Structure 1
């Protein structure tokens, strides 16, 4: 299979959902709820999930979906549900043909809630499963920093397609990540990128638009002749990645410049296009299992751009175990040529 249609639908669906998230991003009140694990969820998360699942259902009705959100809290909070419906019902791509491919406008508020709830697949190693994170980096979204809309297609446990919308990354692929990239991004000028990849066909970036897809260009990780000069990035939240261990790994590799901290799979996209080099997400808790929606799309985009994505032991991420990466601990992503060197440093620092 070529997966061209899957990528096309994924890119358009992510682009349409990103229009909604941008609208909410610039509003003061984002309708935030707190989930059982204390992580926030917003109007943007629920609305983007509804729009993307609708597109998958229209084009690939037999496929399963593993998505981050579900609608039980909205059924109890009619005011918030109504607010989300007001935001979602008018969101459409200005290119009517593309919008129609995605299923057009949602028919009703009740149907919206039903669609949000269609992301409850248990996942696993058989069949076609879409992994969806409607807003990855919700805390970044709330503080005006980086976030991403992420969608990956996993077939028989192997990621085949990935699409990620990064509304606050610069369109210019050649711009190296700066220390301020994770902070205030509310100006919007020259920003908004849609990344995608198909297994075996390379990775691309294109500017986000409000209609048909923009022109794409191929992206690749940059060579790192001197690892001490590498740019490494990590998450903003200390609860998601062991920042002290990350710093120790960088020091062991001779990297003296401080890490670049930003939320979401924008980190995967940034290193894939050569704006940075190494992404470390070292475990904070022994029993924590990464969610597949946080990594599927980023994994394929980095690997198709010439990188490696593994856990702290150097094993490939295994998307066949259900809704989590139960067989892996932590994430290390880097260009193929230096991955072993980075893993070696990780193993020493973590005493593996």
Structure 2
């Protein structure tokens, strides 16, 4: 299979990073700081990013990396840095069997800080570039909802490999989503799934574990025979997606089920395996640019599961223009057979504003 090594290292790195995030998830004080855009970042974000980058640097030293976090805050906050280092050390010990294959163990707190800061690539249309979101859905992570550890490889701007670790989603692909899937979640037994895809090779899911990877199974989007019975997924935060516009679109399509609001690319994984049907992320500001790390892995997984992903104008997501999707507005993800109908309703509602 093409990109077999990249896929395996990505899966192992994401799985190891989720072990760290799960440890932090169960603490009441998650070491939260606020970035310039007022979005939160936690001990889990920094530690997961360090672990993933160290594995990528060991196996693919010439590849570029686009990652969300930077180490400046930690350099200025020694106690916070030491706390993250303790989580990184503990996770490497806990996942020692995978460490042998992943290689490149982090030997010191300074190495950890250096690794975090290796994600400053400007991105672009040329070469091999990894996109990392160490915790997508940090607000969901903080409130006890859904979140995802996300990693994707782009080659000349085309997403080739995508992996999502979703600790709070059920392992069972047939478990349906309900309106409460995004709140009061746990990573108890039966929870924790890793979604993966390679371009042209389909999408899979498997149980998150430690050490060796679990057996994977192919996943496919669910055919929608009656659009009025479809399940919408949307963001929890109204600042991320217009809830009022989505409600108008649902009404236009005759959908009466309440939407499932959950954080992170867990939405992409959920519709890719047929637990949900549609994912809309509708623009809330004309000047907002989506980040590539928030969509690259999920975009590929949905497309390889039989779906179509575009922006609200019908254009494919363009990962060639740097660290943001500056050529796109919003996201519409649905099974290929009904994507056009969904897009038509989106355009109708947005054009009437």
TM-score calculated relative to the size of structure 1: 0.98
Give how far 1:280 is off.
0.4
2:101 matched to 1:84? no
SS in structure 2 at match of 1:84? helix
Give how far 1:96 is off.
4.3
Matched ranges for 1:18-97 at <5 A: 18-92=18-92, 96-97=96-97
Matched ranges for 1:1-352 at <5 A: 2-92=2-92, 96-103=96-103, 105-186=105-186, 188-351=188-351
SS in structure 1 at match of 2:332? strand
Do the aligned residues in 2 keep the contact of 1:150 with 1:165 (CA within 8 Å)?
yes
C-alpha distance in 2 between matches for 1:111 and 1:80: 15
Do the aligned residues in 1 keep the contact of 2:168 with 2:187 (CA within 8 Å)?
no
- 1:235-269: CA deviation from partner (whole Å, max 9, x where unpaired): 00010001100111111111011100000000000
Give how far 1:32 is off.
0.4
C-alpha distance in 1 between matches for 2:93 and 2:280: 36
Give how far 1:295 is off.
0.1
- 1:205-262: CA deviation from partner (whole Å, max 9, x where unpaired): 0000011000100000010011111101100001000110011111111101110000
SS in structure 2 at match of 1:322? coil
SS in structure 1 at match of 2:160? strand
How has the CA–CA distance of structure 1 residues 5 and 174 changed in structure 2, closer, same or farther, with 3 Å as cutoff? Answer: same
- 1:107-131: CA deviation from partner (whole Å, max 9, x where unpaired): 0001100000000000000000000
Do the aligned residues in 2 keep the contact of 1:246 with 1:282 (CA within 8 Å)?
yes
- 1:10-32: CA deviation from partner (whole Å, max 9, x where unpaired): 00000000000000000111000
Give how far 1:100 is off.
1.9
Do the aligned residues in 2 keep the contact of 1:92 with 1:104 (CA within 8 Å)?
no
C-alpha distance in 2 between matches for 1:213 and 1:291: 29
Do the aligned residues in 2 keep the contact of 1:91 with 1:105 (CA within 8 Å)?
no
How has the CA–CA distance of structure 1 residues 187 and 196 changed in structure 2, closer, same or farther, with 3 Å as cutoff? Answer: closer
SS in structure 2 at match of 1:179? coil
Give how far 1:97 is off.
4.8
C-alpha distance in 2 between matches for 1:19 and 1:350: 41
How has the CA–CA distance of structure 1 residues 291 and 41 changed in structure 2, closer, same or farther, with 3 Å as cutoff? Answer: same
**Unaligned ranges ≥5, structure 2:** none
Give how far 1:342 is off.
0.5
Give how far 1:288 is off.
0.2
SS in structure 2 at match of 1:129? strand
C-alpha distance in 1 between matches for 2:234 and 2:107: 40
Over 6 Å off, 4+ runs: none
Do the aligned residues in 2 keep the contact of 1:93 with 1:211 (CA within 8 Å)?
no
C-alpha distance in 1 between matches for 2:227 and 2:170: 25
Do the aligned residues in 2 keep the contact of 1:26 with 1:186 (CA within 8 Å)?
no
